[in-house]
Amino acid sequence: MKIHSASRTLFSLAIAAAALSVSSGALALDDEAAKGLMKKSDCTKCHAADKDKKGPAYKKIAAKYKGKADAEDKVTKFITVSSKVKLADGGEDEHKVIGTKDGKEIKNVVQWILAQ
Ligand code: HEC
């Protein structure tokens, strides 16, 4: 009897967890798509989620924009219009633009970065 009720509890916990991940998945970003597109666009050469490479960590970028109403606009512009940037190693380069023109894909990447 004990075992039976314990496994029932586990079962309902599993259901609750599955429901949770489904609902947050619907709201949230497409993690795989964002990462895949950034990899394809060479962003990974200079950026990582939580450590600085030639460019700042996405966590730092997200922190810089936290609470700013125009964050999405600014970041969208930054990754779609090339500008000269100073690299962490002292060099200078034209900043890469994201390798797609699809507004939805771009938005997903922008929101992914700002969610770090
Ligand atoms: C050659 C290295 C390099 C590559 C490749 C690169 N970045 Fe950057 N990125 C930088 C540097 C350096 C900065 C910091 C610029 C500054 O603060 O002036 C930066 C800044 C940023 C910022 C912050 C802008 C801001 O307003 O603070 C975002 C967002 C960003 N990069 C996204 C991307 C994305 C997305 C890609 C791929 C399409 C990418 N980067 C590719 C070097 C790079």
Q: Where are the alpha helices (DSSP H) in the chain?
A: 2-27, 31-40, 58-65, 71-80, 103-114
pTM: 0.82
Distance CA 111, CA 113 (A): 5
- pLDDT, averaged in runs of 10, over the chain (116 residues): 62 58 59 97 97 97 98 98 95 96 97 97
**Domains in the chain and their CATH numbers?**
30-114 (1.10.760.10)
Q: Is residue 76 within 6 Å of ligand 1 at its C-beta?
A: no
Q: Which two tokens stand for residue 75?
A: 């970041």
- Give the pLDDT score at 25: 44
- Give the pLDDT score at 23: 45
Instruction: Please tell me what DSSP assigns to residue 43.
Output: G
The residue contributing the CA closest to ligand 1 atom 8 is 55
Query: Which residue out of 39, 41, 46 has the highest number of ligand 1 atoms within 8 Å of its CB and is therefore the one to mutate?
Result: 46
- Give the pLDDT score at 26: 44
Neighbours of 86 (CB within 10 A): 11
Q: Is residue 56 within 6 Å of ligand 1 at its C-beta?
A: yes
